[in-house]
Amino acid sequence: MASLNTVRNQRVYVNTSARSWTCQHSIDPVIKTFHRSLPGYAPTPLTSLKSIAEQLGVKHVLMKDESHRFDLKAFKILGASWGAYRALAQRLGLPLTVSIRELGLAARIADIKLFAATDGNHGRAVARMAKYLDLEAHIVVPSIMDKVSQERIASEGALIEVVEGDYDLAVKIADQEAAVSGGLLIQDTAWPGYDEIPRWIVDGYSTMLQEIDKQVLEIAGKPADLVVFPVGVGSLAQAVITHYKNPALLTALLAVEADTAACLLASLENGAMTSVSTGDTIMCGLNCGTISSIAWPMLRDGIDATATVTDVEAHHAVCHLQSLGSSVGPCGAAPLAALEN
């Protein structure tokens, strides 16, 4: 059973059937071993927001602070690095024991370049992995992306291509250019005919979720009752669902979208994948108009509720977290905005 409600300015979709929905999923221990081999890997902190817990009337509100992930201030490198590593190893016929140095050398001999489209941190993550491998990276971005974000991607040594269009168009162009050049597209969204690499990217996020499980137990003494997370194309959401909807946990899940790019909400309302036109938003990483095709079935069945937040609400959440000593961007603050509203 599902229902759509409006709470203040939020549109909230509730799926009561998700409470008992489960999925079976196992985590390959090789993934965490791989991440530990990356320069500067360390678990990011789980911060206790005591004043917010008191405000909401709950015992704990815990925030995974990905501003400490390497020096990229985003979790995306966990998926992009594993996805690129798996894809290159498969293309080159190398085992998953191959080192990054050896993999990069083989890829250079084969003249393979990495391609990706991005509206946020994924492109920089792919560029960083290309840097580790000493490969060229070609990152396609929509014209709406701010100059600072573009410069951060370029600082990793990537070539930036700006297209006059939205994120969905950038993905199409990156795919076409990778095909023409014989390069490798490392994209975190899937569509018919392109789903293997996005699955590996989703798998890469499992390292962060394992970190969270350990940290929650250390702080609260029990697993989380509710996990709130932002949604763009849905790859992180897919990882969260497969992790927390296993029969041993059955954690409640709340997904949060930018109100200007609520493709998940539109899809849930229509009962089928639905693309939406996107507008400008400070939540750049959530500014996606189409849900990943492999994520959609999981999101449809496994999310307990979905809410939208406005730029104003996200900005207020950013400021609130800053007052508590946490430097988190609008995408990372969106879940708090949803809880507070």
| 119 carries an active-site annotation | yes
pTM of the model: 0.93
Annotated catalytic residue, options 119, 166, 168, 304: 119
Average pLDDT over residues 156-181: 96
Alpha helices of the chain — where are they, by DSSP H?
Answer: 29-36, 50-56, 76-92, 100-109, 122-133, 147-154, 167-181, 196-204, 206-220, 235-244, 263-270, 296-302, 311-323, 330-340
Token pair recorded at residue 332: 């990372």
Catalytic pick among 64, 76, 113, 245: 76
Q: Residue 251: pLDDT above 70? A: yes
Residue 332: which pLDDT band, with cuts at 50, 70 and 90? Answer: very high
Q: What angle do CA 235, 308, 305 make, to 5 degrees?
A: 70
SS3 212: helix
- CB–CB of 5/341 below 8 Å? no
pLDDT value, residue 9: 58
Q: Residues near 117 by Cβ (< 8 Å), separated by ≥ 6?
A: 123, 139, 140, 141, 167, 170, 171, 173, 174, 175, 187
Q: Which of 194-198, 314-318, 323-327 has the lowest mean pLDDT?
A: 323-327
The DSSP H or E segment spanning 162 is: strand 159-163
pLDDT tens for 10-66 read 689 999 999 999 998 888 999 999 999 999 999 999 999 999 999 999 999 999 999
- Phi, psi dihedrals of residue 27, rounded to the nearest 5°: -105, 130
Active site residue 203: no
The H or E element containing residue 115 is strand 114-117
Q: What is the pLDDT of residues 121-136, one digit of tens each?
A: 999 999 999 999 999 9
Q: Are strands 305-309 and 10-15 parallel, antiparallel or unpaired?
A: antiparallel
H, E, C per residue of 74-93:
CCHHHHHHHHHHHHHHHHHC
